[in-house]
């Protein structure tokens, strides 16, 4: 099968210090993949590089997708909820693909936004200010926004962190539905049990690739120990990356 997204010797760096180092592999269309690895492994950086928010220092991210084909749920810590915006308007932001960034709001979009809120269990919350929601309710709002966006590739950065079991279950149902609809879903996750039970593919990252393939193979004790050992060796003040450091193919 032709890959949907291919990573070719991808290195992504901040101030020339690599956070993702020489990663190669491919996401198949319609695949459901967890990105796992220790803190600081480069997982969020990799998501941002996949959707083009960060440019590679070396190597490439290859695909034929436009920006609108990517739906993205950032880490909760990256979102400022003090911005004075209602729940329904936040969900409506997901409709920008169909109406353009400054386009008029169509009644059909309002209806779809209401349906998306109902689908995530927040019927009647539309007029609430996002700052007044609990963390779990706000995560549901962000999923409703993704439902409205209707993207072919969905990137989720720690979608279930600080979320209770019931909300996690409800949001996992939505992830399963997206997978069933043939969308490609890539999620950064810390809960290994959840990875093993719900994600058929795993990309295990410790700046460099530890493993990428069927979850049962990749999440072996040997690989998890290897990832931890690699993380313990990281030197935050290491020299900037040079092409000569690339591992042999
Ligand atoms: N904007 C930035 N500027 C400089 N360095 C950054 C920036 N963002 C991330 N980094 C560094 O890049 C490395 C990878 O960070 P990243 O957030 O991608 O890791 P992660 O695997 O998602 O971590 P976590 O599990 O803790 O969320 C870390 O050393 C981090 O400090």
Among protein residues, the one whose CA lies closest to atom 4 of ligand 1: 14
Would you write out the chain's pLDDT as a tens digit for each of its 249 residues?
A: 789 999 999 999 999 899 999 999 999 999 999 999 999 999 999 999 999 999 999 999 999 999 889 999 998 777 777 778 999 999 998 887 666 656 667 788 889 999 999 999 999 999 999 999 999 999 999 999 999 999 999 999 999 988 899 999 999 999 999 999 999 999 999 999 999 999 999 999 999 999 999 999 999 999 999 999 999 888 766 656 655 444 443
Tell which one of 17, 42, 54 to mutate to probe ligand 1, the residue whose CB is within 8 A of the most ligand atoms: 42
Among protein residues, the one whose CA lies closest to atom 1 of ligand 1: 14
How many angstroms separate the alpha carbon of residue 188 from the centre of ligand 1? 13
* Domain boundaries along the sequence of the chain: 5-234
In CATH terms, the superfamily for domain 5-234 is P-loop containing nucleotide triphosphate hydrolases (3.40.50.300)
Contact between 203 and 212 under an 8 Å Cβ cutoff? The reply is yes
CA 153 to chain centre: 9
Counting from 1 in the atom list of ligand 1, the atom nearest the Cα of 20 is 14
Separation between Cα atoms, residue 61 and residue 73, nearest integer Å: 20
Instruction: Identify which of 244, 249, 212 has the alpha carbon closest to the alpha carbon of residue 227.
Output: 212
Q: What would the 3-class secondary structure string for 57-119 be?
A: CEEEEECCCCHHHEEEECCHHHCCCCCCCEHHHHHHHHHHHHHCCCCCCCHHHHHHHHHHHHH
């Amino acid at each position: 099968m032709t890959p949907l997204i291919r990573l070719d010797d991808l290195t992504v760096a901040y101030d020339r210090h690599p956070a993702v180092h020489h990663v190669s592999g491919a996401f198949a269309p319609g695949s459901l993949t967890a990105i796992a690895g220790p803190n600081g492994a480069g997982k969020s950086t990799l998501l941002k590089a996949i959707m083009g928010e960060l440019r590679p220092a070396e190597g490439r991210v290859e695909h034929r997708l436009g920006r609108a084909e990517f739906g993205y749920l950032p880490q909760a810590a990256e979102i400022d909820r003090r911005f004075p915006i209602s729940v329904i308007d936040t969900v409506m932001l997901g409709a920008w693909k169909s109406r353009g960034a400054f386009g008029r709001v169509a009644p059909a979009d309002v209806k779809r936004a209401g349906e998306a809120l109902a689908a995530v269990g927040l019927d009647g919350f539309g007029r609430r200010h996002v700052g007044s929601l609990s963390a779990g309710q706000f995560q549901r709002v962000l999923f409703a926004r993704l439902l409205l966006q209707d993207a072919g590739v969905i990137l989720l950065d720690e979608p279930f962190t600080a979320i209770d079991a019931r909300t996690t279950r409800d949001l996992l149902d939505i992830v399963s539905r997206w997978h069933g609809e043939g969308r490609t879903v890539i999620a950064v996750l810390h809960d290994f049990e959840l990875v093993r039970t719900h994600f058929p593919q795993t990309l295990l990252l410790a700046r460099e690739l530890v493993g990428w393939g069927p979850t049962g193979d990749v999440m072996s004790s040997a690989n998890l120990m290897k990832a931890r050992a690699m993380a313990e060796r990281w030197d935050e003040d290491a020299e900037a990356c040079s092409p000569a450091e690339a591992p042999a193919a």
